[in-house]
Each structure stands twice: as C-alpha cells, then as structure tokens.
Structure 1
Amino acid sequence: MSHPRRYDATRRQRTALERRAHVIDTATVLFAEHGFEATTLADVASAAGVSLAYLHKLGSKSDLIESVVRAMMTGDTAADPDSELDALVHAATMEEYLDLSLASIIAWNARSHRLWMAWASASDPGLRAGWNAVMTEVRAKLTASLALLDARGWLRGDVPHDELVATLWVLTMAETYTRLVDGAGLSHDDYVRWLHRSVREALLPRASQPA
C-alpha cells in the first residue's frame, strides 16, 4: 500500500532562502561593479537567472541594495563580533589594540569597498538617509574607541578629540580604500602599511610613534 508523499515545508523554505541568497550575491557583484544607478532590476534578474516578477516580490531596487548591505555587514560568519569586542577591551598594549582594530577595518574595506561606494553615491533619498544613519553610528563607535585609548593614556592630548575622531573616520572609510587602491594604484599591502602608519601618526603621542 503506497503512502502519499508528505509536503516537505522545510526543504521548500531552504530552497527559497538559497534562491534569495543567490539573488543578493548576484546583486552585490553588479552594484559593486556598475554602481546603484546604472544597475537595473532587469540586470540582476538576468544575471541571477530569475524572473523580474520574482525580484519585484522582494521589493524595489532600493530594498535590494539595503538587503545587500545588511548581508555584507552581518554575513561574515568567520568573525564573532562579541569575541572581537572582548579582545579589544582586554588588549594589554596600545599596539595590540590598534592591530586588532585595524585588522577588522582592513578586512571590511577590502571585502566591501566597491559596494559601499555604490551605496554612498546613490541619489535615492531613503538610501541617503540610511547612509547618513550608518555614518552617525560609525562616528559614535570611533568616539568610543578613542575614549578607551584616552582613558588608558594611549591617545595624544595636543589635538582636540573631535578632530581626532574626524581624522580616524576619514582614514578608515571604505571610500579611502577605493581612492588609494583603485584610484592611486596602491596595492592592498601598500594600503595596509599606509593605514597603520597614518593612524599611529594621527592618534598617538609623539613618543609612542615609530621612528
């Protein structure tokens, strides 16, 4: 006696999630290569092998790039944010603290700088508002980071704190990576050396800077 095939909801859901993830991965590449304005939903549908109607069900193009950015910001399973934060708080020396901080920034910039630029250059008001909100969050995190350096006596005291925050923000922006590596012709390793040297020169007391 045969039994009716049971509906596998779990498998169907997994397939749907994999399909959506494939679309987001495809959109990530296209937005990074061509920018937000020049990339159409039809381009994404064609490259991902899905119908335009399917993409419309996921939302607008602005919704899509926001999904892409969220995936980029949360999809790195190799790193544990809580572990990274704990390591920073318990860093025993100024050098250890800066090395840990910059390693995370460098990895993010190398992975996502073209996508970040596509988001930054978008003219959509909602995306601009999202960009500004993230920049406010980044500045707040940099302010907290420098406050920790200052509390430990590792931060120079001859430059206003707000100026140091602004300097660190500019040095570590994904846009700066793009300008130096894609624009000025530096290699990734050149950028890493430049960033380490520039951050130390900008933030540390003269006596703590490498000769």
Structure 2
Amino acid sequence: MSSEILPTESGVPRAYRSQLRAQQAVDTRRRIVEASARLFATQGYQATTLTAIAREAGVSAETVKSAASKAELLIAAFEVTFSGSEAAESLAETEIGGGVLDLPDEGFLDAVLERITVANSRGHAVWTVLLGAAASDPVVDAALQGILAHRAADLRMLVAELTARGYMTPAADPDATAAALSFLISPEGYQQLVAQSGWSTERYVTWLHRAVRSELIR
C-alpha cells in the first residue's frame, strides 16, 4: 500500500507540517538547554531561575517549564556542553566522540586527547556547578552517579582499545589504568589547571599527553 501524504485545507501536506513541528520542538529545546548552560556556568545553580532561562532562550516561562525541571536542565546542559549530545549511553555515541573508534592506530591517542580537551574546555564550568548541586539535589545526584558510571565504562573501553592498538602492555592492570585516566582527563583537572591556575590550553595539552603516556607505559 502506498504511503500517501494527504494535503490539509491550507494545501500544506500533513506529514510536512508534522516534521516541521518536530524540528521546531528540537530547536526550541536546544535553545533552552544552551541558555541554561550559559546561565548555570555564570550564575550557579541556585541563582538561575526558570524565568531567567526563558528570557535567555527567548521563549516563554511556560515553554521552559514544560520542557524540563531545573535539575533536568542542569543535567542536559552539562551533557550538551561537554559532549554535544543528550542522554547518550557512551561517549562514542556523542558528537564529540563519534567516529573515534574508526580512526587508525597511528594518532589514535592524540585524537582522543584532543577531543577530551575540547570537551573539557566546553563543559568544565557546568560540571563544577553540577557537582555542587548534587550535594543538595537528589535528582542531580542520581544523574551524577549515572554520568560517573558511564565515564568509568567509557574509560574501561578506552583502555581495552589502547591495549589492542599497542599503546599499553596487556599485563597492565586495566581497572587501575582506567581509574588513573579518569583522574587525568577529568573536567576537574582542566578546571584546576586552566581556569584556576591560568595555564594556557597548549600547556594543558602538553601536560595531558605526557601524563597519560606515562601512565600507559608503566
């Protein structure tokens, strides 16, 4: 049976109008999340209101309230600023990590660390806010535990990939290496070295490459 697109009284096909509304909804949510990220990063969690987010996003307060709660917007704000994608199960499924496993062995680690640096530079401020909010908001805390669990799984996968590609010896303890990498490449490290200590991005990248390679060849 053919899939007929029926016209409306105005002459615009229903399927087209439905697709348009869906895309508008996606665009609106993106604006809300990006506005939330800007305000959370500059004003913190407590001081940021849904009304302020609506004003920053250029939408009504009701639109923001129907999109998500304040806690949910903080979580989405971190996910989008850090990885470019919401609610992904793995970093490899996000904008920042997409296609990384298809890269050749030569230069693979450099590419991974370059992407991590970009993600940390974009997401470290909102990550700091999220950590603080988790101490008093159970919804944020539950999401934080999920994010940390996904990070641990991603790093175990990365360690296995690095071993398979010859960057580290199979005899190394993969769990210990994953834990060490989690510390080295964390947004907290970027926050402390670049945002707080005033390191340049170039100095941070040089340090990160040296620290990670040193850990892998132990």
> 1:108-123 counterparts in 2 under 5 A?
108-122=119-133, 123=136
1:86 equivalenced with 2:97 (yes/no) = no
Determine the C-alpha separation between the residues in 2 that align with 1:158 and 1:185.
38
- The 8 Å contact of residues 113 and 209 in structure 2, kept in 1 or not, is answered as yes
Q: Which one-letter code corresponds to 2:202 in the other structure?
A: D
Match of 1:68 in 2: 77
Alignment size in residue pairs? 197
**Coordinate RMSD, CA, aligned:** 2.8
- The residue type equivalent to 1:183 in the other structure is Q
* Amino acid aligned to 1:62: A
Is the 8 Å Cα contact of residues 194 and 201 (structure 2) preserved in structure 1? yes
Distance change (3 Å), C-alpha of 1:78 and 1:63: closer
Tell me: higher relative CO, structure 1 or 2? Use CA pairs within 8 A at least 6 residues apart.
1
User: Contact (CA 8 Å) 2:84, 2:95: kept in 1 or not?
Assistant: no
**TM-score normalised to the size of structure 1?**
0.79
Report what 2:88 is aligned to.
Answer: none
Tell me which of 169, 176, 179 is aligned to 2:192: 179
Residues 1:22 and 2:36 aligned together:
no
State the alpha-carbon separation in 1 of the partners of residues 40 and 148 from structure 2.
Answer: 20
> Cα distance, 1:119 vs. partner?
1.7
1:138 corresponds to which of 143, 151, 168: 151
- 1:51-83 CA distances to partner (integer Å, 9 max, x unpaired)? 3222221231012223323434344987571x2
Cα shift at 1:121:
1.9
Number of the residue aligned with 2:117: 106
- List per-residue Cα deviations over 1:110-148 (Å, max 9, x = no partner): 121112222222131121111111211211221222233
Normalising by the residue count of structure 2, what TM-score does the alignment of the two structures yield? Answer: 0.76
**Counterparts in 2 of 1:159-198, with a 5 A limit?**
160-198=173-211
The Cα of 1:182 is off from its aligned counterpart by 0.9
Identify the range of structure 1 (110-119 vs 9-18) with the bigger mean alpha-carbon deviation.
9-18
Structure 2: how far apart are the matches of 1:35 and 1:115? 8
* 1:148 correspondence with 2:138: no
**Cα deviation, residue 177, structure 1:** 0.5
Unaligned runs of 5+ in 1: 206-211
| Ranges in structure 2 where 5+ consecutive residues have no aligned partner | 1-8, 86-92
